[in-house]
Amino acid sequence: MELIDEYRDPAAARRYVEAIRRAVTRPWSLMEVCGGQTHALLRFGIDRLLPPGLTLIHGPGCPVCVTPIDIIDKALAIAARPEVIFCSFGDMLRVPGTIDDLFTVKSRGGDVRIVYSPMDALTIAEREPGRQVVFFAVGFETTAPGNAMAAVEARRRGLQNFSLLVSHVLVPPAMEAILRAPRRRVDGFLAAGHVCAVMGLEEYRPLAERYRVPIVATGFEPLDLLQGIHMCVRQLEDGRAEVENQYARSVRPEGNPAALTVLRDVFEVVPRAWRGIGSIAASGLALRGPYAELDAERRFDVAGVGGRESPECRSGEVLQGLLKPSDCPAFGARCTPDRPLGATMVSSEGACAAYFRYRRTRGAA
């Protein structure tokens, strides 16, 4: 048992598709929150198996896509400094800032390194005490516990040359922003299973009640997604609006207590700007208390650095589920993964990149 392949069984998938077809009597729109789910839905063609009237809307759960251009520009400014080793997850390197991306900085001689884990950056800081090592701490609640642990370990080991450029974002406030939008199109949510594995399910219950919306914590394999869709549709057809857990093999209702303890010790909840969407109250994390000394924005005085989006990029509407990628005039023409106008075309989790890769062109999507 590998806990992967068995969740891709075609016969079981067909049974789910049939059950979903039988369950649907009215048009419904479901949003899968996580970009990893968007990619799986398109990769396995699940979007094409669903009955007419059941629409999947792609959510904002792509950390690369929503990291604001201001932070990208600050990353570029810091990474260009000669004393800095700038460490990042690989998928941030091609995200366009106002003018450049991190790859360009690297090609001009900046010391930009791809790491697999924040702990790798910590190791580099220990080995190179004469350099300033900065880790680009982006992502949702899934990467925040690891980045928090890096901060704890940096202080415990007394590393003076390690800092974090933090742009963490939180999923539930973004879901609420989508629900409050005047053009709300979402009838139900497939919540991001791995975010729920860390945070638990409690924070979704007020959303389900207040906005009368079913929320199903859902996994990432085809059968997970099909079961999540079935559970969500069943709630809608029954007139229920509850928090359910499809992904019980990974998600406990209380989340991961060990991770939450460190997360809340290191980070505090702050307002954050989301690329393409704008500022959302209480939607991000920043270093708190004694950990604030590890804040790279303060250490390198980049407070004044800001950015400007390409006026042609409509990723904000894509991230809010208001525009299908293939309906953007620039899609596939002036905006491709090789020459992206916005971050949604860069990331492997971005909806525009997924549509491009799996050939969901206009009309075919």
Partner 1 sequence: MQRGAWQSEGRTMCLGIPGEILSIDEQVEQGGLRTGDVRFGVAKKSVCLAYVPDAVVGDFVVVHAGFAITRMDRAAAEQVFSYLEQIGATRE
Tokens found for residue 194: 């791995």
Looking at the Cβ atoms of 258 and 333, the one nearer to partner 1 is: 258
Interaction of residue 348 with partner 1, rule CB under 8 A: yes
User: What is the SS3 assignment for 278-311?
Assistant: EEEEEEEEEECHHHHHHEHHHHCCCCCCCCCCCC
For the bound state, the minimum distance from the C-beta of residue 123 to partner 1, rounded and expressed in Å, comes to 11
Can you tell me which of 97, 139, 188, 214 binds partner 1, judged by CB under 8 A? Answer: 139
Instruction: Spell out, one character per residue from 62 to 81, where the chain touches partner 1: x when CB under 8 A holds, - when not.
Output: xxx-----------------
Gap between the Cα atoms of 154 and 359, Å rounded: 44
Looking at the Cβ atoms of 264 and 308, the one nearer to partner 1 is: 264
Tokens found for residue 36: 């990893």
Interaction of residue 246 with partner 1, rule CB under 8 A: yes
Per the listing, tokens 């809010």 go with 320
For the bound state, the minimum distance from the C-beta of residue 90 to partner 1, rounded and expressed in Å, comes to 4
Q: Which segment (50-58, 70-78, 114-122, 124-132) binds partner 1 by CB under 8 A?
A: 114-122
Gap between the Cα atoms of 240 and 284, Å rounded: 30
Measuring CA to CA, which residue among 333, 297, 301, 328 is closest to residue 314? 328
Q: Which segment (60-68, 75-83, 97-105, 166-174) binds partner 1 by CB under 8 A?
A: 60-68
Can you tell me which of 60, 68, 97, 145 binds partner 1, judged by CB under 8 A? Answer: 145
For the bound state, the minimum distance from the C-beta of residue 249 to partner 1, rounded and expressed in Å, comes to 4
Q: Which segment (6-14, 97-105, 293-301, 318-326) binds partner 1 by CB under 8 A?
A: 6-14
In this structure, the number of other CB atoms found within 10 A of the CB of residue 90 comes to 12
Can you tell me which of 90, 253, 289, 329 binds partner 1, judged by CB under 8 A? Answer: 90
Looking from the CA of 73 toward its CB, the CA atoms found within 13 Å total 16
DSSP string, 104-157: HHHHTT-EEEE-SSHHHHHHHHHH-TTSEEEEEEEESTTTHHHHHHHHHHHHHT
Binding to partner 1 (CB under 8 A) within 169-208 occurs at 194, 197-198
174, 274 contact by CB (below 8 A): yes
Per the listing, tokens 């006026």 go with 311
Residues that bind partner 1 (CB under 8 A): 1-8, 12, 15-16, 19, 22-23, 34-36, 43, 61-64, 89-91, 114, 116-120, 138-140, 142-143, 145-146, 149, 153, 156, 194, 197-198, 220, 223-224, 227, 230, 234, 246, 248-252, 256, 258-259, 262, 347-349
